[in-house]
């Protein structure tokens, strides 16, 4: 990299950085700001901060005495404010020095919360849509000071001159932009008005827009924020807040939660989504700072578990980042996040205590969100666990209803395990909950904390088998030869074969094989294959007796009674393989390649046997 020759200066003397303004504007447009549209937000923000300083200078001025006026006619965009204004010295110091903020220079660091912008680079955003910025300002702090004009250009040059007082008879500032040809998308009158409404609808100072067509200017923010208005009844207030949430967020909320944190000057609403969303998916929230829209995607204002709401808030004490498009992560934001989370918990508690219909609608849509909250929040667990729906052998029901009929609640570790045993466990009178979904198994195991009289245990094959009725001794002896051939045929799958009676009689066989058992058998197989090597030693050290799968044949099923009476060895083997394959398919777990091959082979063998018999 070659640097241009610098003027000679004494050795060791300080030198000043030379700033390439075009390069800096390009940096802002590609890395700091998300879109050129932010130029209008920055102009509004500067005007609001100037009005804030003017009110501090003249505290007796009535509300609404000072305002902001926007003009756009397609050839220019102009923003006028009645703010504190600038003297010629201020213009030299603040408009001609990149990165310096007049709010800092006025030694109001202790009052920085009064201002939206604090980084001193906002005016540069205007170069995203214009090659020249024209500023005329007159100071309210020095009433006899003349108006001053500043013209800044995109090549980094600027001019300053003093004007006659008639050029700006009242204190305040006017900023005029002449748009570039490629910036028409952002500077058309309709777009300027839309952007002003988008960013400034909740500003506390009056803002008007005029398209220079000769008609009266239109108010950009004709009413205060809905939570700042008064209503005749609580019901009217609730309906108004819900209507505002629907208008701004684009959906009809299931319910609206009013938010109010006086310590940080935060007010707003949280709208409960009427449709379920994937667990962990975080919605962006609409955050205003002192009335100015900061972001529509501020997901950091709520904890991750609160994905069932979207918020619209206006805050006084939250700090924006340099781009003013997101929130600065600090202790204040962390405290706000915790406080808003507590408001959501309180809403759930009120619904549980006083509005069961609302709670039922909420849980029907957002039970997964509540389950994720209950896992980490003991208060919500105690309050809502009995109300949460689960998949059980009694159908979809709440744990409270399920525990009334089952003193011992069994829970599976996977969805496939539940599907294997659900029908048979129900017929045997066992109460089983599907613990294969996110959070479910952990939550079911915490049920005794709410209902001490209920016990919870993991379902294992031995528990289920113990509830199936054995066959009589004569039947067992008559089927011994068939069972031996079936065990031999299925040995490759580490599967035992037993004969029992159970309901429903329409089920010929049940395959009991947990995921943990399959993993252990796989590990044992790897240990045998790697015997003698490093991995074989490691796996061998972990070796346990591999649990076997179990194919339970139902003696009540007519097909099984016919099969166990088969004398022909090959046909007996094929029928056992077919029963295993059918039971594996009913378990709905992924099939291993060997199992798929077995199902195909047994089907073809049975078909061939049937065809030979017909001939």
For 29-33, 497-501, 507-511, which range has the lowest pLDDT when averaged over its residues? 29-33
Most confident residue range from 88-102, 231-245, 417-431, 463-477:
231-245
- pLDDT for the residue 109: 36
The 3-state DSSP class for residue 320 equals: strand
Beta bridge partner(s), residue 161: 149
Q: Which helix (H) or strand (E) holds 52?
A: helix 38-57
**Alpha-carbon gap, residue 512 to 428, rounded angstroms:** 15
Residue found by looking up tokens 């009674």 in the block: 561
Percent helix, percent strand, percent coil in the chain, to nearest 5: 45, 20, 35
- pLDDT for the residue 105: 40
Give 550-580 pLDDT, tens digit per residue: 888 999 999 999 999 998 999 999 999 999 9
Give 429-464 pLDDT, tens digit per residue: 889 999 988 889 999 999 998 889 999 998 876 677
For 230-234, 274-278, 599-603, which range has the lowest pLDDT when averaged over its residues? 274-278
Beta bridge partner(s), residue 330: none
The 3-state DSSP class for residue 87 equals: coil
Q: What percent of the chain has pLDDT over 70?
A: 82
Q: Which helix (H) or strand (E) holds 218?
A: strand 218-219
Mean pLDDT of the chain: 83
What predicted TM-score, i.e. pTM, was given to this entire model? 0.69
Q: What percent of the chain has pLDDT over 90?
A: 40
Beta-strand ranges (E) seen in 379-468 are: 389-392, 395-398, 408-411, 432-433, 455-458
In this model, does residue 108 exceed pLDDT 80?
no
Confidence of residue 10 (pLDDT cuts 50, 70, 90): low
| Average pLDDT for 248-259 | 95
| Average pLDDT for 253-260 | 95
- pLDDT for the residue 315: 93
Q: How many CA atoms lie within 13 A of 139 on its CB side?
A: 15
Tokens of 540: 């061998």
Give 273-328 pLDDT, tens digit per residue: 999 876 556 678 999 999 999 888 888 899 888 888 999 999 988 887 766 677 88
**Alpha-carbon gap, residue 385 to 363, rounded angstroms:** 11
First to last CA, the chain: 92
Confidence of residue 19 (pLDDT cuts 50, 70, 90): low
Region of 206 please: left (phi>0), alpha (psi -120 to 50) or beta. Answer: beta
In this model, does residue 378 exceed pLDDT 80?
yes
For 202-216, 360-374, 497-511, 515-529, which range has the lowest pLDDT when averaged over its residues? 515-529
Is pLDDT larger for residue 89 or for residue 122?
89
Tokens of 109: 């660091």
Measure the CA angle with vertex 588, ends 587 and 593; round to 5°.
100
Helix ranges, 75-137 (H): 88-90, 102-105
**Cα 196 to Cα 134, 202, 481, distances in angstroms:** 20, 11, 87
- pLDDT for the residue 212: 85
- pLDDT for the residue 392: 94
The 3-state DSSP class for residue 250 equals: coil
Tokens of 589: 């777990």
Cβ(400)–Cβ(388) below 8 Å: no
- pLDDT for the residue 480: 93
Helix ranges, 303-436 (H): 331-354, 356-376, 378-384, 399-405, 415-427
């Amino acid at each position: 990299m070659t640097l241009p020759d610098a003027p000679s200066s004494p050795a060791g003397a300080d030198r000043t950085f030379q700033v390439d303004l075009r390069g800096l504007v390009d940096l802002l447009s590609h890395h700091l700001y998300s879109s050129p549209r932010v130029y209008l937000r920055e102009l509004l923000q500067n005007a609001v901060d100037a009005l804030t300083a003017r009110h501090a200078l003249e505290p007796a001025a009535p509300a609404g005495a000072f305002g902001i006026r926007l003009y756009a006619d397609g050839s220019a965009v102009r923003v006028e404010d009645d703010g504190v204004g600038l003297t010629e010295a201020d213009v030299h110091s603040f408009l001609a020095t990149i990165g310096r903020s007049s709010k800092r220079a006025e030694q109001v660091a202790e009052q920085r919360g009064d201002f939206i912008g604090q980084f001193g680079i906002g005016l540069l955003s205007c170069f995203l849509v214009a090659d020249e910025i024209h500023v005329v300002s007159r100071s309210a702090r020095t009433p006899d000071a003349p108006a001053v004009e500043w013209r800044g250009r995109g090549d980094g040059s600027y001019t300053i001159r003093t004007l006659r007082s008639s050029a700006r008879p009242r204190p305040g500032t006017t900023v005029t932009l002449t748009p570039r040809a490629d910036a028409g998308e952002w500077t058309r009158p309709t777009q300027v008005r839309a952007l002003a409404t988008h960013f400034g609808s909740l500003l506390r100072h009056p803002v008007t827009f005029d398209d220079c067509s000769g008609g009266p200017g239109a108010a950009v923010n004709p009413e205060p924020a809905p939570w700042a208005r008064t209503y005749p009844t609580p019901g009217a207030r609730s309906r108004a807040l819900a209507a505002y949430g629907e208008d701004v967020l684009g959906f009809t909320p299931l319910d609206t939660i009013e938010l109010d944190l006086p310590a940080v000057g935060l007010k707003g609403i949280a709208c409960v989504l009427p449709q379920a969303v994937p667990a962990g998916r975080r919605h962006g929230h609409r955050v205003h700072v002192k009335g100015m829209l900061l972001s529509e995607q501020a997901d950091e204002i709520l904890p991750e578990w609160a994905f069932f709401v979207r918020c619209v808030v206006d805050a006084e004490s939250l700090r924006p980042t340099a781009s003013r498009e997101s929130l600065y992560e600090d202790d204040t934001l962390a405290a706000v996040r915790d406080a808003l989370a507590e408001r959501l918990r309180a809403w759930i508690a009120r619904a549980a205590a006083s509005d069961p219909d609302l709670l039922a609608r909420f849980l029907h849509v957002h039970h997964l969100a509540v389950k994720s909250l209950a896992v980490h929040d003991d208060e919500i667990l105690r309050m809502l666990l009995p109300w949460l729906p689960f998949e059980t052998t009694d159908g979809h029901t709440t744990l409270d209803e399920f525990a009334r009929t089952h003193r011992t609640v069994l829970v599976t570790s996977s969805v496939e395990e539940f599907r294997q045993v659900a029908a048979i466990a129900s017929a045997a009178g066992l109460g089983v909950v599907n613990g294969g979904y996110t959070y479910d198994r952990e939550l079911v195991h915490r049920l005794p904390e709410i209902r001490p009289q209920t016990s919870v245990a993991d379902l294992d094959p031995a528990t289920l088998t113990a509830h199936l009725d054995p066959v009589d001794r004569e039947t067992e002896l008559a089927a011994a030869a068939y069972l031996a051939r079936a065990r031999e045929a299925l040995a490759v799958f580490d599967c035992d074969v037993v004969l029992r009676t159970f309901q429903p009689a329409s089920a010929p066989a049940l395959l009991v094989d947990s995921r943990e058992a399959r993993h252990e058998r796989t590990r044992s197989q790897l240990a045998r294959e790697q015997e003698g090597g490093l991995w074989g030693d490691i796996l061998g050290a972990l070796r346990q007796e591999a649990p076997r799968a179990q194919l339970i044949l139902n003696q009540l099923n007519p097909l099984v009674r016919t099969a166990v009476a088969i004398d022909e060895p090959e046909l007996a083997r094929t029928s056992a393989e077919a029963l295993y394959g059918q039971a594996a398919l009913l378990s709905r777990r992924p099939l291993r390649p060997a199992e798929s091959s077995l199902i195909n082979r047994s089907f073809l063998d049975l078909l061939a046997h049937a065809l030979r018999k017909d001939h």
